[in-house]
Amino acid sequence: MKTLVWVEHDNAEMKDATLAAVTAASKLGEVHLIVAGSGCRAVAEQAAKVAGVGKVHLADDAAYEHVLAENVAPLIADQMGHHDAFVAPATTTGKNIAPRVAALLDVMQISDILSVEGEKTFTRPIYAGNAIATVESSDAKLVITVRGTAFDKAATEGGSGTIEEISGPADAGLSSFVSAEIAESDRPELTSAKVIVSGGRALKDGETFEQIITPLADKLGAGIGASRAAVDAGYVPNDYQVGQTGKIVAPEVYIAIGISGAIQHLAGMKDSKTIIAINKDEDAPIFQVADIGLVADLFKAVPELTEKL
């Protein structure tokens, strides 16, 4: 089977989310990549070095700069004439474009796969991860999105892919990019952080959240997350949110502070390798999934922990 994997990037650098999709695709067959953007040749060069990669299809055109689905989906659909599966990471970009590609090909997409069980058989979470379905496709072509935490990342070195320039349909003229507000931070991104320190509603307000959570995260070089309750209460912006309706994370260590452990939060972090919980309520559901728990007042315990580490 020949697969075409979507390379996630910002026109300058390839994003890590690509690497799990490469691993998933490699279980199906040959791995080819597609880089669509503007002034993004450096991304294609990076992508060509990923272990196990064959061809890198580079579509460098102003029409693809902001990866508008209206322009990029027809480009990908064209390339599917000579590929059998389109594989994208289940990022907001992947989720935006893959179903549009699937519909152009008259294919039912398989979303957010957790494993490859056979040539056309996959597992995927349903009901917010409360159940795992095994599904088999009867379509001639496959369109798949991949849950990044479920697959190892392919190595970024060792590959010797060849770059081939391609072109596709021009700007569809249906949509235009206006602006982006992307938070600039030196902190690791939640979905790729090795350690995450997360805070809940118990943190009281935005200022206290910052005072308690940030020093500990700094000490551990950790990403900062939050429960939906903390986001709803306005302590932190929405892109901090870990859970069914936010980001799905699986770091080496997840430290939940003042988080009770609602189903919706657990759905986003229960695949973390080690879960540490600090909460003053010893009956909080978070302790049912935590490997290490400390029943304590977080306002005393967390600063003490930060100091002693």
Partner 1 sequence: MKILVPVKRVIDYNVKPRVKADGSGVDLANVKMSMNPFDEIAVEEAIRIKEAGKAEEIIAVSIGPAKAQETLRTALAMGVDRAILVETDDEVEPLAVAKILKAIAEEETAGIVMLGKQAIDDDSNQTGQMLAALMGRPQGTFANTVEVDGDSVTVKREVDGGLETVKLTLPAIVTTDLRLNEPRYASLPNIMKAKKKPLDTKSPSDYGVDTAPRLKTTNVSEPPVRQAGEKVEDVDALVAKIKALGIA
- Minimum distance, C-beta of residue 134 to partner 1, in the bound complex (Å): 4
Euclidean distance between the first and final Cα of the chain, in Å? 50
Contacts to partner 1 from residues 147-166, by CB under 8 A: none
Measured from the CB atom, the residue of 157 and 181 that comes closer to partner 1 is 181
Residue 101 sits at φ, ψ, to 5 deg, of -65, -45
Q: How far apart, in whole angstroms, are the C-alpha atoms of residue 97 and residue 246?
A: 19
Residues 25-84 that bind partner 1 (CB under 8 A): 66, 68-70, 73
Answer yes or no: is 43 a known binding residue.
no
Contact 257, 209 (CB under 8 A): no
Stretch that binds partner 1, among 31-39, 42-50, 80-88, 135-143 (CB under 8 A): 135-143
Number of residues that bind partner 1 (CB under 8 A): 88
Q: Minimal distance in Å, beta carbon 79 to partner 1?
A: 16
CA distance 67 to 9: 10
Stretch of 56-64, 160-168, 178-186, 205-213 contacting partner 1, by CB under 8 A: 178-186
Nearest to 257 by CA among 190, 168, 197, 181: 197
Query: How far is residue 280's CA from residue 286's CA, in Å, rounded to a whole number?
Result: 11
Q: For residues 217 and 61, what is the distance between their CA atoms, to the nearest angstrom?
A: 40
Choose between 125 and 159: whose C-beta lies nearer to partner 1: 125
110 is in an annotated binding site: no
Stretch touching partner 1 by CB under 8 A, among 36-44, 79-87, 199-207, 283-291: 283-291
| Contact present, 104 and 151 (Cβ < 8 Å) | no
227 appears as a binding residue in the annotation: yes
d(CA 160, CA 74): 28
Q: Which positions from 184 through 203 interact with partner 1, judged by CB under 8 A?
A: 189, 191, 194-195
Site string for partner 1, 235-274 (x = CB under 8 A): --xxx-----x-x----xx---------x------x---x
- CA distances for 55 relative to 33, 49, 50, 157, angstroms: 6, 11, 11, 15
Using rule CB under 8 A, residue 14 touches partner 1 = no
Least distance (Å) between residue 253 CB and partner 1: 5
Name residue 108's amino acid. M
Q: Which residues are annotated as a binding site for FAD?
A: 201, 227-228, 241-245, 258-265, 279
